């Protein structure tokens, strides 16, 4: 199970940190906040109990096993970031260069830069490629543009679209659902009550994960373990994180830096960046009052960004909360020869994490650790649910709807109008 190490928050000036007593005093809010979350009718923590979607994905994966050398996901934001995280966290870091695996290569096109599209075509064989088109509404301009381009290319190669396309979209309506129904293209559902940034544990993330050989049932089991903790009224890890973020936000720490000390977790920080920014940055509260609340997410990577950002974090404005992700596992390690006798790279990494956290603490900069025992499907499932739960609680702390995104929708609307 994931552990929170909050000791450094208690060591600094109370004006910049949070004591154990201050944190525990907020636990009385949990039942009311859980009830409010329940009343918002969001499915991010209940969809993992549904067997049918998982069975459908597994059946499809078995049917197409060995058919494709490349899986291309056409998606952006919540339709892509979770998949990128799963790829980075759970596959070999040099998967595409490995000659010993028969698993399909995964490519996620989360931009419309034509260079990205054209250079993908330099490495794929259309006859052995599956394009997974991900858009809940079926109207996202960027994804529809990608879809029409690659569909035309599929047809130019004299290939059958239904053999090289799969859709992940709304269960009943939208452009892609209509096309799927007419042309018998395989289609998977994003439940109506799950927004894109909360959708990684639906077919959005699970379909590509299964196709590249990941254990999606272990991913779901990890999420269930953390979901059970999310529903507890004591020792609730998601609530503790939200309470820390809100309390320190009120103390001027309006920037949250997520800094994994694990190469495999850097894309988790990318995924979380959208989750926090899009969920909590809101103009109006539940009462319709203008509040302009939000926390600004920042990504960093240990030890890389000790050499590019830590000067600012230690001596710049004291407006940041540092959230470290620590992988406790030393399963893979290498001894450092000559320079530091008896020291391994993992030990050095751990020393540098401690030194970074200690330096921040000495400078009254709030920081805490989220610790995982190892990076596996189970622990990634736990992390997804932990931060989704924390974000849901954080919305209730601020009295806003963490599950809508009117600012994003306005941008989409203006884009569509400009294209008419």
Q: Which two tokens stand for residue 2?
A: 């994931």
List the one residue out of 385, 363, 170, 179 whose CA is nearest residue 271: 385
Written in H, E and C, the secondary structure of 130-170 is EEEEECCCCCCHHHHHHHHHHHHHHHHCCCCHHHHEEEEEC
CA distances from 78 to 75, 193, 360 (A): 8, 14, 32
The Cα–Cα gap between 372 and 46 comes to 23
Strand, coil or helix: 5 = strand
Among 63, 156, 307, 417, the one annotated catalytic: 307
Among 56, 162, 354, 412, the one annotated catalytic: 412
Among 142, 189, 278, 396, the one annotated catalytic: 278
278 is catalytic: yes
Q: Using DSSP bridges, classify how beta strands 105-109 and 70-74 pair: parallel, antiparallel or unpaired.
A: parallel
The Cα–Cα gap between 108 and 72 comes to 6
The Cα–Cα gap between 51 and 71 comes to 24
Please compute, for residue 312, the number of CA atoms within 13 A of its CA located in the half-sphere on the CB side.
Answer: 12
The Cα–Cα gap between 54 and 16 comes to 45
Backbone angles phi, psi at 321, to 5 degrees: -110, 125
Catalytic residues: 278, 307, 412
């Amino acid at each position: 199970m994931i552990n929170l190490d909050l000791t450094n928050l208690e060591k600094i000036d109370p004006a910049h940190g949070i004591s154990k007593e201050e944190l525990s005093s907020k636990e009385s809010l949990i039942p009311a906040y859980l009830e409010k979350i329940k009343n918002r009718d969001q499915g991010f923590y209940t969809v993992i109990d549904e067997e049918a979607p998982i069975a459908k994905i597994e059946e499809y994966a078995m049917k197409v096993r060995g058919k494709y050398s490349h899986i291309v996901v056409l998606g952006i934001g919540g339709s892509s970031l979770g998949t990128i995280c799963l790829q980075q966290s759970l596959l070999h870091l040099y998967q595409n260069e490995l000659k010993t695996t028969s698993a399909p290569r995964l490519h996620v096109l989360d931009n419309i830069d034509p260079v990205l599209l054209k250079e993908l075509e330099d490495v794929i064989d259309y006859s052995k490629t599956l394009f997974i088109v991900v858009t809940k509404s079926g109207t996202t301009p960027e994804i529809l543009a990608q879809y029409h381009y690659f569909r035309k290319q599929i047809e130019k190669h004299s290939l059958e679209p239904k053999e090289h396309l799969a859709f992940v979209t709304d269960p009943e309506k939208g452009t892609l659902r209509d096309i799927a129904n007419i042309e018998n293209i395989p289609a998977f559902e994003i439940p109506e009550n799950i927004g894109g940034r909360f959708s990684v544990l639906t077919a959005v993330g699970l379909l590509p994960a299964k196709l590249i050989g990941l254990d999606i049932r272990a991913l779901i089991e990890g999420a269930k373990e953390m979901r059970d903790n999310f529903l507890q009224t004591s020792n609730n890890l998601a609530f503790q994180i939200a309470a820390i973020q809100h309390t320190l936000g009120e103390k001027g720490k309006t920037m949250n830096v997520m800094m994994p000390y694990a190469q495999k977790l850097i894309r988790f920080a990318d995924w979380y960046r959208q989750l926090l920014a899009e969920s909590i940055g809101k103009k109006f509260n539940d009462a319709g009052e203008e509040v302009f609340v939000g926390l600004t997410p920042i990504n960093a990577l240990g030890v890389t960004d000790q050499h590019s950002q830590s000067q600012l974090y230690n001596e710049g404005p004291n407006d940041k909360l540092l959230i470290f992700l620590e992988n406790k596992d030393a399963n893979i390690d290498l001894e450092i020869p000559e320079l530091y006798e008896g020291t391994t790279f993992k030990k050095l990494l751990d020393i540098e994490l401690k030194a970074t956290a200690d330096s921040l603490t000495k400078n009254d900069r709030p920081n805490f650790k989220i610790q995982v025992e190892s990076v596996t499907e189970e622990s990634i499932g736990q992390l997804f649910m932990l931060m989704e739960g924390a974000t849901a609680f954080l919305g209730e702390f601020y009295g806003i709807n963490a599950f809508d995104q009117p600012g994003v929708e306005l941008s989409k609307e203006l884009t569509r109008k400009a294209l008419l």
